[in-house]
Amino acid sequence: MWDFFETIRHRHSIRQYQTDMPVEEEKLHAILETACSAPSAGDLQAYRITVVRDAGLRQALSQAASQQTFIADAPVCLVFSAEGDRSAGKYGERGRELYAVQDATIAAAYAQLAVVAAGMGSTWVGFFDEAEVSRIAQLDSGLRPIALLCIGYPAELPDATPRRRLDEIVTRL
Ligand SMILES: Cc1cc2nc3c(=O)[nH]c(=O)nc-3n(C[C@H](O)[C@H](O)[C@H](O)COP(=O)(O)O)c2cc1C
């Protein structure tokens, strides 16, 4: 088991998957538990997670995401959706428009790290047709898809991509 910082260092977007190696249910369960351990506004967890294993649905999601074919290749796709109503009940419009989206985003980020700790890889997909993804993932009305997370065993070892320098990003006061 890697320590936390090693896990962070080993996370790279994976866009080629071992198509004959399914994601074990126990590992998927641990990833979902980790996602749901993320902080959320008011501890409301204003998000849902849809697990898509079905090959036809993954193919449809790939088409809804501008033909990003690796979505169909990865054995699992998680659809993270914001549940605006749940947050709006306590926080009004700020909850609906911001906190629910943040809740879903943080949960997906936790999941992405858990995937690495479980020996697999993922790619976060944000470029997709929301209406199409809602239809394919059979989301209840009121849910807004925020991120797709493709998960599987990597068939590539990408190099780390460069990052902006800290002093371009960080302001110290
Ligand atoms: C909000 C968001 C949206 C993204 N959308 C896509 C996408 O639609 N397709 C894709 O291939 N990668 C997507 N990515 C992955 C980024 O391209 C990737 O994280 C970035 O290039 C850094 O590379 P790394 O993940 O290997 O560190 C997205 C990442 C984020 C956080």
Strand-pair category, 76-83 with 47-52: antiparallel
Q: Using the mean position of ligand 1's atoms as its centre, give its distance from the Cα of residue 69 in Å.
A: 14
pLDDT of residue 1: 64
Which residues, given as ranges, of the chain have pLDDT below 50?
Answer: none
Write out pLDDT tens, residues 47-97: 999 999 999 999 999 999 999 999 999 999 999 999 999 999 999 999 999
Q: Using the mean position of ligand 1's atoms as its centre, give its distance from the Cα of residue 13 in Å.
A: 7
pLDDT of residue 2: 67
Mean pLDDT over each residue of the chain, to the nearest integer: 97
pLDDT of residue 120: 98
pLDDT of residue 7: 93
**CB of 123 sitting under 6 A from ligand 1:** yes
Residues 6+ apart with CB under 8 A from 138: 50
Q: Strand 76-83: give its sheet, edge to edge.
A: 47-52, 76-83, 143-152, 121-125
Substitution candidate for ligand 1 out of 11, 13, 116 with most atoms within 8 A of CB: 13
Residues of the chain with pLDDT > 70: what percent?
A: 99
Q: What is the enclosing helix (H) or strand (E) of 148? A: strand 143-152
* CATH class, 17-156 region: alpha beta
How far apart are the C-alpha atoms of 64 and 43, rounded to whole Å? 32
